[in-house]
Amino acid sequence: MENILQDVDAVIDQWGAKPESLLQIMLDVNHHFNYLPRESIVRIAERLRMPVSQVYSVATFFKVFSLTPRGRTIVHVCTGTACHVKGAPKLLDRMKQDLGLDPGETTEDLALTLETVNCVGACASAPVVVVNGETYSEVTPNKMAALVKEIKEQSA
Ligand code: FES
């Protein structure tokens, strides 16, 4: 907790404890921890002299912010129509089977968060998986399992 607050204070000091800096401070804190810890929201509100509810409403309004811990690697399985037809549900089944994850969930070691996305514009390569911005084409359940194994090893 002490460390969290120190890191949050450093970000606030960098941008200045003023309401106009709110978004930038929240983006940096979210980037630093990979999510917005509860105590960071309270600290930001205190230092910027704003109601905690206002900071919370910003945090829940923008999709870029997360209020729960996120993995160091974000795996997006495309579930748009083309990917759905070409087997995206099987990829999600494999993630559930291997890691016990449903979309929106994170492994306990914070190595990986599973998300779905609705078409990334690469339908010809369906089913598509995007890992930290890198697109993988025609992913099979076995390819998915190998990809996840690699992510877990790199993150260990
Ligand atoms: S539906 Fe998956 S890339 Fe378009």
Q: Are 142 and 95 in contact (CB under 8 A)?
A: no
Q: Which domain holds residue 42?
A: 2-61
Q: Are 9 and 37 in the same domain?
A: yes
Cα–Cα distance list, 26 to 8, 40, 48, 57, 58 (Å):
9, 9, 12, 12, 9
Assess if residue 118 is contained within a domain.
yes
Region 64-68: what's the mean pLDDT?
A: 90
Residue-wise pLDDT tens digits, 77-101: 999 999 999 999 999 999 999 999 9
Q: Are 10 and 52 in the same domain?
A: yes
Among 92, 115, 123, 137, which is best to mutate for testing ligand 1, by the most ligand atoms less than 8 A from CB?
Answer: 123
> Which letter, b or e, does each residue of 90-110 get, where b requires 16 or more Cβ atoms within 10 Å of its Cβ?
ebbebbeeebebebebbbeee
Instruction: Grade residue 128 by pLDDT with cuts at 50, 70 and 90.
Output: very high
**What is the number of structural domains in the chain?**
2
Out of 21, 36, 61, pick the residue that ends a domain. 61
Q: Are 87 and 122 in the same domain?
A: yes
Is residue 125 predicted with pLDDT exceeding 70? yes
Q: Are 55 and 87 in the same domain?
A: no
